[in-house]
Amino acid sequence: MKRRPPTSLIFRFALISLVLLGSTQLANAATTDPLPSWNEGKSKQSIIAFVTAVTKVGSANFVPPAERIATFDNDGCLWSEQPMYFQLFFAIDRVKALAPQHPEWKNKEPFASLLKGDVKSALAGGEKAILEIIMATHAGMTSEEFEATVKDWLATAKHPVTKKPYTQMVYQPMLEVLAYLRANDFKTFIVSGGGIEFMRPWTEKVYGIPPEQVVGSSVKTKFEMRDGKPAIVRLPELNFMDDKAGKPVGISSHIGRRPIASFGNSDGDLQMLQWTTAGEGKRFALYVHHTDAEREWAYDRKSHIGKLDKGLDEAKKEGWTVVDMKRDWKVIYPFEER
Amino acid sequence: MKRRPPTSLIFRFALISLVLLGSTQLANAATTDPLPSWNEGKSKQSIIAFVTAVTKVGSANFVPPAERIATFDNDGCLWSEQPMYFQLFFAIDRVKALAPQHPEWKNKEPFASLLKGDVKSALAGGEKAILEIIMATHAGMTSEEFEATVKDWLATAKHPVTKKPYTQMVYQPMLEVLAYLRANDFKTFIVSGGGIEFMRPWTEKVYGIPPEQVVGSSVKTKFEMRDGKPAIVRLPELNFMDDKAGKPVGISSHIGRRPIASFGNSDGDLQMLQWTTAGEGKRFALYVHHTDAEREWAYDRKSHIGKLDKGLDEAKKEGWTVVDMKRDWKVIYPFEER
């Protein structure tokens, strides 16, 4: 009679047990809904069908894990953007905080109007006014000092309508999409027109997206010695606008490969979705359409913020997924009861 | 007598078996040398001591996996850079390939000298000449076309001295460091003065570093429709020089957090090492010192390529690890016999 060595016996037990356990887990996975905040329907089905297709080993649509890159716009796609971009609330609060050091702002637009509480007049100068506010409040300090101001602000600031912290105004259904993709070995990236260093301090905690997977607009920076210590200093000069045709450029620069899935909500995301879907193999593009005036905001073709006009036409033409927030989402924010 | 359900029994077997298998594996890990191509000595010890310190749960030096960022220079740190940067061999071969489309190059420096095979005269124009060669050969095409030219070139080009493909002239001991760090949950990044799109096509295969973890110098690009298809087009304009003080800026832009370990070989890496070691907690900086004129090249303070002068002084002052290639490395390249 042959005697088996004990390790071989253990190994056999382990193998058999794992195979059996494995099938139980697979059975569980199949019955657990990865997108519980989504109502059944075309939108939800399209997401699951895509992920199933590209992850099925041996299928013609299979994509190796390393190439499973998914990119997400932030404002209006992962969190709200009304009544104005949240970063602008931050900038305005910074103007107020910095005003004592800038007596000249009392007589200089757009700062004068802002300090009087007249946001509308301050922003009447359009993009130029916004850029002036951003530069005055986002530059001249080190990256680490800026990070601290963002964290401090988020810890206490409340949204004027919901009275909730801004980082709670994220879309529960999209958090589920992020988690679902990552569970299927996707790397999830943010590709936003918002400031890259405005997002990085909180995206890991809120979305599970680490700083190195955040692409955004930026100011120029320089490395210098400050009091004998190395520092990255933020300069009052635009470096890169990660919006519209800038998004594929930002993706190319930061990620270096083409996403196979992209998620947006405005015409600012159109080129990113075009770039994504023009690649070979199975691709996925999704627009969040803001249709829910009661639970969130309803806006599209004529909105100043998050305008979705050309994109809506192209989505229809190309067969992209268009999420109807009102119909498709059971809840909007995580703090709502389901 | 109680009857156990079969799944519980299976689970017990699996658990016990896994624990037993697990301890065997742990025992193996402790006796397996993670850096077999390194001779015993201070350099090897310093790497292992650092990794052990920051990964030991509960220790004061513990760093959570998400913050374990390590950055590596490429030329002269992960692969050779003599008798000139390998990217320059690529550019020169491109000049030759493109010459029929550029009859004007026959009378225009630095191209005229290059086409006559006189590399020395061509490069006499210094950085300006090099930049002209790079722009003429790296721009005007789409990112995907450029990627294809890099891959095609690497598939056939041979180094003039070793007659080996360039991607085999990587340092075996450094490949082991990369793998060792990743096995300890580090994210490894390249931060190189070389072209970002020149490196990305092969770093995953050669170093296990995916494109999104490669930071480098770049030309400006734009998104446009070419024949009705979206394309990223490379423009003949420098976007970013990822060298010297540019390295911390590139790290800040691409990674968004400070590395805890950095590896370089020249004064071009000095600011990256300063930026890394000035952070809080345990930090690691390493210079590869080219001391092996027989198996590789020996150069430092007076070299035109990969000059290591200030950095050598600072390393001594700060107690950074300085690898003596000749003494510390059993082999240089993977194709050598150990």
The Cβ-side half-sphere exposure at A309, using a 13 Å CA radius, reads: 6
Q: Residue B203 has what pLDDT? A: 98
Q: Residue B3 has what pLDDT? A: 44
A243 contacts A217 by C-beta, under 8 angstroms: yes
Residues B22-41, mean pLDDT to the nearest whole number: 74
B161 CA to chain A: closest CA distance, Å?
A: 32
Q: Is the pLDDT of residue B128 over 70?
A: yes
**Strand ranges for A149-301 from DSSP E:** 187-195, 214-226, 229-240, 261-264, 284-289
| Partner-chain contact B221 A187, CB within 8 Å | no
| Partner-chain contact B13 A11, CB within 8 Å | no
Four-way CATH pick for B37-81+165-328: 1.10.1020.10, 3.40.50.2020, 3.40.50.1110, 3.40.50.1000: 3.40.50.1000
| Partner-chain contact A14 B11, CB within 8 Å | no
B271 CA to chain A: closest CA distance, Å?
A: 8
Confidence of residue B338 (pLDDT cuts 50, 70, 90): low
Q: Is the pLDDT of residue B74 over 80?
A: yes
Per CB-CB distance under 8 Å, the chain B contacts of A218 are: 253
Q: Which of B262, B124, B245, B238 is nearest to B186 (CA)?
A: B262
| Partner-chain contact A24 B18, CB within 8 Å | no
Q: Where along chain A do its domains lie?
A: 38-84+165-328, 86-156
The CA-based angle A281-A313-A216, given to 5 degrees, is 65
Per CB-CB distance under 8 Å, the chain A contacts of B245 are: 222-224
Record the pTM.
0.90
* Pairwise CA distance, residues B113 & B110, whole Å: 6
| Partner-chain contact B256 A204, CB within 8 Å | no
Confidence of residue B5 (pLDDT cuts 50, 70, 90): very low
Residue of B nearest to A205 (CA): B66
A19 CA to chain B: closest CA distance, Å?
A: 10
| Partner-chain contact B212 A211, CB within 8 Å | no
The CA-based angle A156-A157-A158, given to 5 degrees, is 120
Tell me the average pLDDT of chain B. Answer: 92
A11 CA to chain B: closest CA distance, Å?
A: 7
Q: Is B106 exposed, middle or buried (0-12, 13-18, 19+ CB in 10 A)?
A: exposed
Q: Is A278 exposed, middle or buried (0-12, 13-18, 19+ CB in 10 A)?
A: middle
Residue of A nearest to B216 (CA): A253
Confidence of residue B27 (pLDDT cuts 50, 70, 90): very low
A122 CA to chain B: closest CA distance, Å?
A: 30
At the topology level of CATH, where does A38-84+165-328 sit? Answer: Rossmann fold (3.40.50)
| Among A20, A221, A246, beta carbon nearest to B252 | A221
Q: Where are the alpha helices (DSSP H) in A157-269?
A: 172-183, 196-207, 246-254
Q: Is B204 exposed, middle or buried (0-12, 13-18, 19+ CB in 10 A)?
A: middle
The Cβ-side half-sphere exposure at B282, using a 13 Å CA radius, reads: 17
A323 contacts A315 by C-beta, under 8 angstroms: no
Residues 6 or more apart whose Cβ sits within 8 Å of residue B93: B153, B157
ipTM of the complex model: 0.89
| Partner-chain contact A257 B13, CB within 8 Å | no
Residues forming beta bridges with residue B189, ordered by sequence position: B71
B120 CA to chain A: closest CA distance, Å?
A: 33
Weakly modelled stretches of chain A, pLDDT under 50 = 1-10, 13-15, 18-28
Q: Which two tokens stand for residue B51?
A: 């990794």
Q: Which two tokens stand for residue A119?
A: 């946001």
Residues 6 or more apart whose Cβ sits within 8 Å of residue B91: B133, B134, B137, B138
Q: Residue A126 has what pLDDT? A: 86
Q: Which two tokens stand for residue A81?
A: 């953007």
A292 contacts A326 by C-beta, under 8 angstroms: yes
* Pairwise CA distance, residues B271 & B262, whole Å: 10
Which is more confident, B152 or A14?
Answer: B152
CA distances (Å), origin A275, targets A251, B16, B230: 10, 51, 6
Count CB atoms within 10 A of the CB of residue B76: 26
Kindly state the greatest CA–CA separation across chain A.
99
| Partner-chain contact B246 A230, CB within 8 Å | no
DSSP state of A186: P
| Partner-chain contact B274 A230, CB within 8 Å | yes
* Backbone angle region of A28, left / alpha / beta, with phi > 0 → left and psi within -120 to 50 → alpha: alpha
Per CB-CB distance under 8 Å, the chain B contacts of A257 are: 200, 211-212
Q: How many helices (H) and strands (E) does chain A have?
A: 13, 7
The CA-based angle A3-A6-A10, given to 5 degrees, is 125
Per CB-CB distance under 8 Å, the chain A contacts of B256 are: 196-197, 200, 211-212, 214
A78 contacts A142 by C-beta, under 8 angstroms: no
| Among B204, B246, B256, beta carbon nearest to A200 | B256
Per CB-CB distance under 8 Å, the chain A contacts of B210 are: 66
Q: Is the pLDDT of residue B233 over 70?
A: yes
